[in-house]
């Protein structure tokens, strides 16, 4: 029993286009085709795609996922490499949280300090026009 791309999409929680995109960038293997040229997938494609979607939901990049899949395909291998990809991602998530918390504090200050009259005296506009009104000496890039 093989699956059409639409059935695979439903089984793994992905869009059809996304599956074709993953195939295009070499993350999913090219499946067999019907005589008419439509893709037909085996059961293991569901596993692989679910792995990818779950890892995406947890914020891993497609490049990290590519590496994790390669490691997972080699079951006897020491898992240090896999763990360090996760730790690297965790570190990135922590850094992003820190940067966003800094933004959050600054935005709260802006919003709270505005007495809400006209834009000529709006604290939001003033702060954006003048970094000296910010509390933090600089802003880390968020993405």
Query: Would you say 40 and 3 are in contact if contact means Cβ atoms under 8 Å apart?
Result: yes
Q: Does 88 bind DNA (CB under 7 A)?
A: no
* Nearest-angstrom CA–CA distance, 48 and 12: 9
| DSSP 8-state code for residue 33 | E
> Taking the CB of residue 43, how many other CB atoms lie within 10 A of it?
11
- Contact with DNA (CB under 7 A) among 11, 42, 51, 62: 62
The site partner of 75 among DNA, a second copy, Zn ion, none (C-beta below 5 to 8 Å per kind) is: a second copy
Q: In the chain, how long is the greatest CA-to-CA distance?
A: 70
Binding map of DNA across residues 6-45, x = CB under 7 A, - = no contact: xx-x----xxxxx-xx-----------xxxxxxx------
Pick the stretch among 4-12, 15-23, 64-72, 114-122 that binds Zn ion (CB under 5 A): 114-122
Q: In residues, how long is the chain?
A: 143
Binding site for DNA (CB under 7 A): 4-7, 9, 14-18, 20-21, 33-39, 56, 61-63
């Amino acid at each position: 029993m093989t699956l059409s791309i639409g059935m695979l999409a439903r089984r793994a929680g992905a869009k059809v286009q996304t599956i074709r995109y993953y195939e295009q960038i070499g993350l999913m293997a090219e499946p067999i085709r019907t005589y008419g040229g439509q893709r037909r997938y085996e059961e293991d494609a569901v596993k692989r795609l679910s792995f990818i979607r779950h890892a995406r939901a947890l914020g891993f990049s497609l490049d990290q996922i590519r590496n994790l899949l390669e490691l997972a395909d080699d079951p006897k291998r020491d898992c240090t490499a896999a763990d360090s990809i996760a730790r690297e991602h965790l570190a990135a998530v922590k850094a992003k949280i820190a940067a966003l918390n800094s933004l959050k504090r600054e935005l709260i200050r802006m919003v709270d300090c505005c007495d809400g009259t006209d834009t000529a005296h709006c604290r939001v506009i003033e702060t954006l026009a003048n970094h000296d009104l910010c509390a933090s000496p600089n802003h880390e890039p968020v993405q």
